[in-house]
Structure 1
Amino acid sequence: MALDARTVTVNLAELTEHLGCALCHGILRDAHTIPDCLHSFCKSCIYRHFLVKGSCICPKCNKALSPRPIATLITDQKLQEVVDRIFPEFKEQEAILEKEFYAKNNFKLREESGEPTDGANGSSTSPVASSRGRSKASTPTKKSHSVKPVGSGGILSCTRQFTIEVYPQETNARALPSLQFPFMQVNGNFKMFELRKLIRKRLKLPDEVQLEMACMGATVGPELSVHFIQRTIWKLQNQKEPLVLHYRRATS
């Protein structure tokens, strides 16, 4: 039987070579592309590669990248649309698994989007007892979690409250002062650039002192949220809450 003129037969293996992730060896999800070499990966895979491993090379071609390659990643929506058109069953299955994940972890997936209204960028900070031997009474009670889409990119944000510890990293002459209240309770959406502003304000640092944040020795970008860092760097290293972050003078 003759093929329809509009039908194109393609070897699946050839497609997965271009539409698959070299890190997880699966089909691309939330595709992100490295502009230097144009290789694409799942967002979670490439973020772990750069943040957890601290690598500055492309995991596919081994090309040396900038000192902070995570800051140059491009959200490749066009490529992801192609993947979803060719492999719609993967997107459908992911939606099912995502729903099961939210139910298992007591999350709520809200349909409505929009910016949070409880403080700047939906974040709130409050000092918590600044003693490592704090009693149960000083530990925040568990609250209901909610995850909702924010903005046009469809990026999920978490409104769960986290307790974090924040300390200066250096122990030499370049060390910055310690915060009076190193324990804070913040929203899961709380970004590192917001934390830097808060630290700068509380320490009354001069403008010439540039800060950067780190988790377990790895520099974390200003665009990353507490929730993202907790479930990637912190959780992958089998660490327990509260999340510990360090601030230090930015390296030139």
Structure 2
Amino acid sequence: MDNAIGNSARSEEEEMEVAATPSVVSAPEATRSSFGENDGMSSEDDEGIVEQLSGGEAEEHMINLTDLNPYILCSICKGYLIDATTITECLHTFCKSCIVKHFYYTNRCPKCNIVVHQTQPLYNIRLDRQLQDIVFKLVVNLEQREKTQMHAFYKERGLDVPKPNIPQPIPSSRAKPKKMLGPVFRIPPELDVSLLLEFMGAEKGTGNFKPLEKKYVRVSGEATVGHVEKFLRRKMELNATCQVDIICGDHLLEHFQTLREILGAIGEKAVQDGLLVLHFVLVLSPLSLT
């Protein structure tokens, strides 16, 4: 009787232990779906999963460098990227020296022909340091060869080898703020008048002359209209038979008048966006008609 009770108690304990133990499924069965299908995996795939689940490490896959060449070669020089530089408009990457030389002749990307910038394409390129590090790690001895060639280049010309740019640590907020440097170029205080010289035309017979390339000039308020005329004659290469008439508003100016006097006499009518506007025309000199 006691043995029967003990056996029944032990059987109940074993059933409880079996119920508490999670069921173990073989690896091939674990890959099957709840619908009893294989999910498109073959028995060979199952065996590979079994090996990995059993503690085996996956085999390393070797990749040929030629398979990566389309991503690390410059399409201009056909060599490995050196100072990898990316165009921000289209994200195509080239050697820095190659793309800079290319932009001497055109403002379009050499790969996709997109307009990088209407006038200054060099504004829209950036160094890609991460890609360059990847190239140096993939191509054996490329970085060392490049450094050797660079040292030889500067040594042959008697120049100092430039030091590499090392990123500076960002100062903490507790550090004392550095003094901000002012602009390198400062306009002297005596040059207190900005001129806008507008060309109004030339009379027949005044001869050949060069166009005025820069019509914005900053001068002293003590300069006279005569000084402005001499400036125009020199820049436009005018001959002696040509006379320069300078007009401000509706007033024909005299040579002895200073720019400060003109500002005081004519006032705001002579100023446009902070510039003293002077119109000038080229006419025949009265002396040439005698």
Q: TM-score over 0.5 for the alignment?
A: no
Pick 1 or 2: higher relative contact order, CA cutoff 8 A, min separation 6.
1
If each structure's helix is expressed as a fraction of its own residues, which one has the higher value?
Answer: 2
**Larger Cα Rg: Structure 1 or Structure 2?**
2
